[in-house]
Structures are given as C-alpha cells and as structure tokens.
Copies of this chain bind each other. A is one copy, B any other.
Amino acid sequence: MKRIGLLTSGGDCQALNATMRGIVKGLASNIQDLEVYGFENGYKGLIYGDYRLLTSRDFSGILTRGGTILGTSRVPFKTIREPDERGIDKVEAMKQNYYKLRLDCLVILGGNGTQKTANLLREEGLNIIHMPKTIDNDIWGTDMTFGFYSAVNIATEAIDCIHTTASSHNRVFIVEVMGHKVGWLTLYAGMASGADIILIPEIPYDIKKVIEAINARAKRGSGFTILAVAEGAISKEDAALSKKELKKKMEEDKKLYPSVSYAIAAEIEKETGMEIRVTVPGHMQRGGSPCPYDRMLATRLGSAAAKLIMADDYGYMVGIVNGKTKKIPLGECAGKLKMVTPDAQEIKEAKRIGISFGD
C-alpha cells in the first residue's frame, strides 16, 4: 500500500502527462491499494490543500497529450519562505498538507526553480522525488530533460518554414528561440535546421562578426542568411557590464524593442542598410503533443521513479546519464545550472561546418 502525491510546477512543457503516466503505471502494475493525490496548479495546490484523488482512468490516453492534467503555476523559490495569502508560512503549509494526507512520498515535476523548492522540502524531512522537466535542458545532473526534444522539433520546423521564404526572397531572417540563460535549445534547433549564425547567452556576440558572417555568405553567392538567436543572446559589450549596469541597459532596450532579436535586427540594419525580418515562435515551443523521443524518455524516467518509490528510496532527481536512467541526490544537483560551454563538442562541430557564433 502506498499513498503518493503528484504535482507539476513552473512553466508547462510537453511530456509532463507522459511522465506522470509512467510513474503511475509503474506503481499501479506492482502495488495493491495505490492512492495517488494530484495537487492542482503546482506548489499552490500543496500550499492550499487543493488536490484530488486520481484513478488509473485519469492517466489513460494522456501519453500524447501536451500540458499537464494537474495545472501548473510559478511559486518563485525566493518567495517560498514568505507567508502565503492566509499569512501561513508556505513551507509549513506544504508540510502540513503532506502529513495530513499521510503521503509516502511526493513526486514533483519541474525545472530548476522547482527543484530548489523540492530540495528544501527534502531537507525539511519530506520524501521527495523530482522529475526534470524543461525545454531548456539546463538541469544539472541529467543529460536530458523531457520537453527539450519536442521544443527542438517545433523550433526547427519554424526555422524550416522561414528557410523557404528567406531563400525565395534573398532575405536575412532572425528566428528567436526560447532560452533566457541557456542556449541548448537554440544550438540544437539551429544546427538541425541549417541556420548560418547561432547566438546564445553563453557566447557573447560581436555584432561586427555577425555582419561579417552575413556579408561572407553574400560574397559566396548565398543571398539569404538565417540567424537562430536565443532570447538571452548578449553582446560582448553588454556581457562586460556590471550586473547593475546591465539591468539598466536591458530595461532601456525593453522600451525600444519587443525582444533581443529586434535589437539585433535594428543594429544590423543600421550598419548595413539591409532589411532584416524577425520571427518569434514564442510559447509555441513549449506546447503541443510530445514527440516520440520525449514520450520514450518520460516513460523511462517515470518507470525508474516508480522503482525508487517501491523501494522507499527518496531524495532524488530521476535523470538519464549515458543512456541509463539514474537517481541523482537532490542535494547534489539543486541550484546548479547546466550551460553550454564555449568549448563544447557541439560548438566545435558547428564552427567546423562554417556556422558563426558571432565571437
């Protein structure tokens, strides 16, 4: 007999449902008298005691469904020790609801911020399993997060679509890919779609080098150029600013441009007189049905989580390392970010085939 809680927290992404299905199928196939409580809208549901008892029926047919059947919300880690709207300490409220339901464990699906709160709850004595969800693939300790490849597919298809127009019109196009701090998604979608220039947060760009790369293509007879630009792409000048100066600069930019790609476009236009088009697929990248890669990954991670729960072995993130699912102690990975390094093998491979990173 087991009583487990489930919640999904942070920005939604593909394969949240697939992961929960994997966990519950794993448990239900092996445990009699399983009770699964789903907390609604992320940590909020745990704080305010909004939950519902779920049956296998709830998990049937959701392998392919995007979003989360539980709903989600953002409760920033830095506010987690502040009282909630009732004036109750949020952590205490969560613990009370956990104990009130006499849960054996709580499975939390979320990204980096979510993981920090999950680790805090572990430190507070709760039995926690964390499942690494994010389209950014920036969670330390796992090679891959579910959601990443579904987002790569959408961003790649967006660039594919732009490709036909760019080449028909001999135009320079920027496609802005999600990723404020980390460039994995832009790097993978950019390489998979044949982008010519890729700008990511980890490799500050020099606008002159970017323009050189565009001109070099034109000289070789390619009338069009496609830039895959991460939301958090940053110029060398800005990267050299102090944190305070940078914040000020970004606030000013925000008044002038809807997002970084428009600022880059404006700068290239000013320098060259070319007309640059910008496309921002935006939230599309985290929506829709998960791709088969993510469904397989989610199913494997879910099944691995079920194994831990059956063994009463808690306090881990369930990740995948070198193709094998694996438990990673939350205390080791929480608070760390997995970023692209400028000497990553993928970067070298990209540069070798002529992709410019503007550095």
A97 CB within 8 Å of chain B: no
B277 touches A279 (CB 8 A): no
**Chain A: interface secondary structure?**
helix
- Of all chain B residues, the one with the shortest Cβ separation from A29 is B354
A71 touches B170 (CB 8 A): yes
Contact A283:B12 (CB < 8 A) given known A188-B292, A322-B323: no
Q: Which of A61-69, A100-108, A235-243 contacts B (4 or more CB under 8 A)?
A: A61-69
- Of all chain B residues, the one with the shortest Cβ separation from A155 is B292
Residues on B with C-beta less than 8 A from A188 are 292, 296
Interface range on chain A (Cβ under 8 Å from partner): 35 or more
A67 to B154, CA, bound (A): 20
Q: Please give the distance in Å from A106's CB to the nearest CB on chain B.
A: 19
Residues on B with C-beta less than 8 A from A16 are 168
Contact of A258 among B14, B71, B194, B258 (CB under 8 A): B258
Scan residues 8-52 of chain A and give those whose CB is less than 8 A from a CB of chain B: 8, 11-12, 14, 16, 22, 25-26, 28-30, 41
- Of all chain B residues, the one with the shortest Cβ separation from A163 is B287
A282 to B153, CA, bound (A): 18
Residues on B with C-beta less than 8 A from A86 are none
B322 touches A292 (CB 8 A): no
Q: Please give the distance in Å from A325's CB to the nearest CB on chain B.
A: 6
A307 CB within 8 Å of chain B: yes
A152 touches B292 (CB 8 A): yes
Residues on B with C-beta less than 8 A from A262 are 258
A287 to B165, CA, bound (A): 6
A325 touches B354 (CB 8 A): no
A295 touches B165 (CB 8 A): no
A324 touches B345 (CB 8 A): yes
A320 to B28, CA, bound (A): 36
A29 to B220, CA, bound (A): 12
Contact of A287 among B11, B162, B170, B295 (CB under 8 A): B162
- Of all chain B residues, the one with the shortest Cβ separation from A259 is B258
Q: Which of A113-121, A122-130, A197-205, A297-305 contacts B (4 or more CB under 8 A)?
A: A297-305
A72 CB within 8 Å of chain B: yes
If A71-B169, A299-B349 are given as contacts, then 10 extra A-B residue pairs at C-beta distance below 8 Å, sorted by A number, are A30-B352, A67-B164, A161-B284, A161-B285, A161-B288, A173-B283, A189-B292, A299-B350, A302-B353, A322-B323
Q: List 18 A-B contacts (CB under 8 A).
A: A12-B165, A12-B168, A26-B352, A29-B352, A30-B352, A64-B160, A67-B165, A71-B169, A71-B170, A149-B292, A160-B288, A161-B285, A162-B284, A163-B287, A258-B262, A291-B291, A299-B349, A303-B349
The list of the 5 closest CB pairs from A to B, nearest first, reads: A66-B164, A161-B287, A67-B164, A67-B168, A303-B349
